[in-house]
Structure 1
Amino acid sequence: MAGTAKALSRAAFMLSQRSHVSVSSAFRTRTAPICLQQTTRRFSSSPFTYLPKDADEPQETESFRLADIPEYSVENFTDAEKSMYELMSSEERAVFDAENKRIVEMWNDPVRRAKEEEAIDILADQVEKESKMRFEDVREKNRGFWAEEEEDEFANAEDGDDTFNDDEITSMAHAEMELHREVREYARIAAWDMPLLSNLTKPFELPKENQILRFRYTSYMGEQHPAEHKVVVELSSKDLVPKHLTEQQRLTFLKLVGPRYNPDTDIIRMSCEKFSARAQNKRYLGDTIKNLIKEAKEGESFADVPLDLRHHKPKVHYTFPDSWKMTETRKRQLLADRQLRLEGEQQRITIVDGKETILHAIRTLPALSQNPHLHAAQEKGAVKETAARARGIARPRR
């Protein structure tokens, strides 16, 4: 509503500022003040009449003329141009100088320059006729009455994006395709490039006496990892004796190293990842070991301080008993035990036949062999009586 009121008030103000239409004095019943006649306007459907505006005064325009180019000279070159000019051969310099002198002479001659410009215009017209290029102005988008005063410069023209035709795969499918391409790339490397690495193999050589430090690096293939710049160094304390340290100085060196010493393997291990480059970390470790050796030689010996090994937790290594080792006698004993177990299993599997057992009992037992039917009837009656008693006894509730 506020925008509508503002638009209507602006239109009314513009109409009131237009020139007053003259009316014949014969039709005037009341003379109005001059100021009122100039500032008021009677609304009418008749067209308005405007006086033509005066033409603008002509302004003096200075004749534009391109300045001449100074004569060609190597002294006018910049430092970069001089360095490139010095890299040329003598033949290239001669061709370069002749071409630049020709261009300068042509530019400073107005007649030749006009001919060249005319030739350029003819070529441009010919290209324009052949290519049939059309330069159309982008029409402003009609944003409607309610958005007249909105300064939205991004909504005046179309974005120009490609029309989506719903015939493309999704972003997730593109990611799967990229993963498939990467796998195929590594497969090609494994098939064609990695076999060529055998040409670069070198025979193994034992480290020399002066190579007592062993550095270890960690690399992550195909990615950048924050642990890549970490460097680990290992050395044996016995390699320092007797070339670098004495036995007493070696003990002092171990005391200075502290918990970095492993008494089981006699290995001293230190690492560094302070710096962002491997070379800096390696240099720092080398300087640290050098300073420790110097301190063990020249510093205090700490002879009254015992070597502290509380940081090391020894592991229990169990030895395999000799009685458990497989010998020929042990093999024969195991085979005999296995055969006995198989025979026992076979005897246990045989099914007991009840009829055969009863006939065997009748033949062998004298009480059953004299009256077998009587004994069978008595046993049957005893079974029925026991079953009847069992039904009469009420089972206790749980």
Structure 2
Amino acid sequence: MTLASIGVVAALGVGLGLYVPAALDAPLPAAQVQLSVPTPEPAAAATLALPATGSAAVALEGSDELLGSSGATGAVPIASVTKIITALVVLEAHPLTTTDDGPGITMTAADVQLLAETRAVDGSYAPVIEGQVLSERQVLEIMLLKSANNYAETVTNWAFGSLASYLTAAQAFITEHGLTDTTIVDASGLNPGSQSSTKDLMRVASLALADPVLAKIVSTSLDEVPVIGEIDNSNKLLGIDGIDGIKTGTTDEAGSCLLFSAEFAVAGETKSVVGVVLGAASSEDARNSVQALLASARAGFTELPLVSANTVVGSYTTAWGERTPIVTTIDEKSLVWSDDPVTVDASAGDIVIAQGGTNVGTATYRVDGIDVRVPLQTSADIDDPGFWWRIGHPQILFG
């Protein structure tokens, strides 16, 4: 062998001595990831049993988005449903707790006169005895359970000094809570000028339920007040079909009205809804409409399968030809309203080598504004490509 040949071999030896360790230690490129997570088909559209006359609406408690509505969308007379707004405004100025009945209110000759005036116009009323002392809570209970117009005026006169001052406070409350279709001109709702819309009343109902004192009062079927005796709630649907409130009302101009709340279980979840029927032909028609609407709303919730465990939603492919599927790890389903769409977004991180069962990402299903997250895993190992692949692919390892 010539000296030149010996030099070449020596150089190759040195080169290999440097290259092989470098190739074996070089970082491997990340596997290429591909994801394609299927979107669940929507459930069947709900069919709400909305009344053919008057107007109605139903919504999830606390939500401004209606599940459905019918009839007039603007302001209409709401009769004694007005008293819920009266109670909210009074309680904002003179709040109670669940253990505090509030100050005593002494019935005066003026309150006796209010009773006479209420009876003269055939308004709903409860007896008044001059000198009797009732707590704030008791006055509110009489106003709401008996729907007593005279007690609505008694409590607002006590709380604000006059009707005019009460109406100022009521307007401030209406503005504060964005009740753009609502006008209040009296405390009882006997005046047809006290009006609201089905949309606004969904918010009013949720506000009432958010106050634990008011929520307790409107869910009370029967109570007893000193001297007056037993008072039963004018809402005859309490305790039926999960109904736990809220207020009835009837006048010639408003028809029969019923603002209601209810809880029911579907697929192990509790749903709380509020709703209203306005302008029914009679109290019986209003009750029947509420029950039909509530039953159809309950039926409109469906437990929708989102994904099954071990569903292949993508894959990793390496530069050395290995491939492993990406799979979901759990069965997941969710309660959806009607045919509300479900959206899905998925992401998976970079991997180089990994064992099967390694968590690599998440599929996120958005259902009615709620995110349901499903972990994603590799279903097989991705191994190191080994000696011969490493030393044979310098262009991949070193660029």
TM-score interval for Structure 1 and Structure 2 normalised by the shorter chain: under 0.3
User: Counting helix residues as a fraction of each chain, which structure ranks higher?
Assistant: 1
Higher relative contact order (CA 8 A, sep 6+): 2
Q: Which has the larger radius of gyration?
A: 1
User: Counting strand residues as a fraction of each chain, which structure ranks higher?
Assistant: 2
